[in-house]
Structure 1
Amino acid sequence: MKTIEVHLVNAFTAFDEGGNPAGVVLNTDSLSAEEKLKVAQAVGYSETAFVSKDEYADVALSFFTVTGEVDFCGHATLAAFSLMFKKGILQAGDYTQRTKAGMLGVSITGDGNVVMEQKSPEFTQRLPYEDVSELIGIAPDVLASTQLPIEVVSTGLPDIIVAVPTGDLSKIDLNADKTTEFCRQHNAVGIHAFEICESSSNLTASCRNFAPLLGIAEESATGSASGALACYLAKHSIEEIDSKGSSSENCSKHQRALTKVNPTFNFVFEQGRAMGCVSRILATVAIKDSENTQWEVSVVGLASLIGKKAIELRSPSI
């Protein structure tokens, strides 16, 4: 019998409240993939991160939902690095992590903020309003009124990015079975829906994330999808500038940044309000060339330790 100590961490907290819980297990070099899955299932969170040694990176991280392994998880990455910082395993500084999504940079600031590098975005396909309408219970003409496309975007995991009019985010009524099959058909892990906040708000957008394909009905903070959404908003800001010019009255403060060379976009996202667990996620997109092909993407947040859990694993029969 093995006893596995799992640290329980709330990631992307706002003023030490809200956030999305993740399990974190340290020193997992001897655990098999099957054992990691059993631990993740026993913890029952949307994701659990497993930290091990790596020959070339500072650490290697693997991520398991209750249904299987995924290539990357933003909030579990934040949880793992925040835990290692709080335990004194890591100091403030710059690190590399090996994941199935690739080698990614992570920085820890002196006040405990974790800055996670994500992959350059992949914009893989656009989807009809009519198809997605059937999944989320919002009429196609309402979705079309945003004048923003529904698009699959990945900065580590592919999400379906869906804009809804301000005030309609809370009206989403997800059909989990249809969404699971649709995501499977279109090589996406879930739906990340958002509404733009009022210009007077310090938030860019409020978001909801649904990933029933991974066994997640709804998630209160999603780091990978937040990076994808930031790239989506930056891309469509570029397209609006190209079509309307920088003097357009419709240009947001983010769009006006495009009048500069190599612009940087800063976004603040809220997620989890519908679940009564509000999270705060910061995302930055820096475009490094005049052709808009070299992107640097990072997602930033804080985390709080909420406890521990001991998981008993039976030794395999011989």
Structure 2
Amino acid sequence: MSPGVTVVHACQRAGRGGSPTAVVEEASWSDAERRAVPVAAGTSHAVFVDASQHGVVALRFFTSTGELPACGHGTVAALAVLAERAGTVEYETLLRSGGRTFPGRATGSGGRYEADFDPGPVELRVPTPAETGPVLAALGIRPEAPSRVASVGRPRLLVQVPDRLVLAGLAPDLARLGAACDRLGLLGCYVYHPPGADGRAAARMFAPSIGVPEDIANANSTACLAAHLADQGVPALAVDMGDALGEPSTVLARTRPGPAGPLVRVGGVATIKGSRSPD
């Protein structure tokens, strides 16, 4: 990977859309410089990649407002760049971020890769009405909507709506939503409709508290949904996102039983769009 910024469109759907993500080789960046990278690159997130330690690649994730302990589509983007640099059709490595080490892999060539990784254990619980009330009000969703607090790295609220029509019509009050999430310590709110028999669903992720009013693709929240639905007999998901933003994206997740709950793999297809020197 040459020095500079590589823009990767992560979690594309049928070769289109995806979440543009800045992938940057680690250097002596200040946190202020790291926060400036996604702004300069025109992306919501940036991932800083340190492959200097043999056998383990360290990742750090930033938005314009600060550092995140994890970023799913950023991990997919980093794996695509690492696979391209390795020059192999099948690439596997250990990744480190958020205080944990986990496996990731990518397959493909020519700047286009399918990548997935282990997002870690998902913690799920039923929220109280005091938690859901202000968030659902800001979203414009009925207060009895089925919800779960799900955490992988940071907690977020999963909210179920009946169908794609309701999902597409959401127009949340982002200021109220951000304030509610801040009070409750939530990363944001992932609104979805239940998958069909083929495992296909759709979702929208709102995270104004971290400077992302709506995320084009959110892999870690999809991993949380996969863990939530695993007990309902849904072993694999393909979740469409980004349509409201004109960037069609799909996040893929699958689960298998584990000793302490479902084990999840999550990822998507990523295309490397090009590199440039940072400003």
- Report the TM-score, using the length of structure 1 for normalisation: 0.79
Aligned partner of 2:252 in structure 1 is: 282
1:151 to 148, 160, 176: 148
Aligned partner of 2:9 in structure 1 is: 10
Distance of aligned partners of 1:110 and 1:198 in 2 relative to their CA distance in 1, 3 Å threshold: closer
SS in 2 for 1:206: strand
1:307 to 245, 267, 274: 274
Deviation of 1:56 (Å):
6.3
- Structure 1 position 132 matched with structure 2 position 173: no
Aligned partner of 2:95 in structure 1 is: 97
Distance of aligned partners of 1:103 and 1:130 in 2 relative to their CA distance in 1, 3 Å threshold: same
2:181 to 173, 183, 205: 183
How do 1:102-113 and structure 2 match up within 5 A?
A: 102-110=100-108, 112-113=113-114
Find the structure with the greater CA-based Rg: 1
Task: Give the distance between the partners of 1:11 and 1:294, measured in 2 at CA.
Answer: 28
Deviation of 1:198 (Å):
4.3
What's the RMSD between the two structures over aligned residues?
2.1
Task: Give the distance between the partners of 2:237 and 2:193, measured in 1 at CA.
Answer: 13
Distance of aligned partners of 1:99 and 1:73 in 2 relative to their CA distance in 1, 3 Å threshold: same
Deviation of 1:90 (Å):
6.2
Tell me how many residue pairs correspond in the alignment. 271
Deviation of 1:101 (Å):
4.6
Deviation string 1:2-38 (CA, Å, 9 cap, x unpaired) is xx62111100011211111100012x13323332223
Task: Give the distance between the partners of 1:152 and 1:18, measured in 2 at CA.
Answer: 29
Aligned partner of 1:70 in structure 2 is: 68
2:223 corresponds to which letter in structure 1? G
Aligned-pair identity in percent equals 27
CA contact (8 A) 1:45 1:66 kept: no
Distance of aligned partners of 1:6 and 1:161 in 2 relative to their CA distance in 1, 3 Å threshold: same
Moved over 4 A (4+): none
Deviation of 1:231 (Å):
1.0
Aligned partner of 1:171 in structure 2 is: 169
CA contact (8 A) 2:9 2:270 kept: yes
Aligned partner of 2:159 in structure 1 is: 162
Deviation of 1:125 (Å):
4.9
How do 1:22-61 and structure 2 match up within 5 A?
A: 22-26=21-25, 28-55=26-53, 57-61=55-59
Task: Give the distance between the partners of 2:142 and 2:106, measured in 1 at CA.
Answer: 43
1:266 to 232, 236, 239: 236
CA contact (8 A) 1:169 1:194 kept: yes
Deviation string 1:277-316 (CA, Å, 9 cap, x unpaired) is 2111110121124xxx24311102111122334322xxxx
Distance of aligned partners of 1:198 and 1:98 in 2 relative to their CA distance in 1, 3 Å threshold: closer
1:160 corresponds to which letter in structure 2? L
Deviation of 1:163 (Å):
0.3
Deviation string 1:161-218 (CA, Å, 9 cap, x unpaired) is 000111311121211111112111222111100012444xx44311001100011111
CA contact (8 A) 1:157 1:224 kept: no
SS in 2 for 1:168: helix
CA contact (8 A) 1:44 1:66 kept: no
Gaps of 5+ in 1: 238-253, 256-264, 313-318
Greater alpha carbon shift after TM alignment, 274-283 vs 89-98 = 89-98
Deviation of 1:89 (Å):
5.7
- Report the TM-score, using the length of structure 2 for normalisation: 0.89
SS in 1 for 2:127: strand
Gaps of 5+ in 2: none
CA contact (8 A) 1:197 1:205 kept: yes
Deviation of 1:157 (Å):
3.1
Deviation of 1:153 (Å):
0.4
Deviation of 1:103 (Å):
1.1
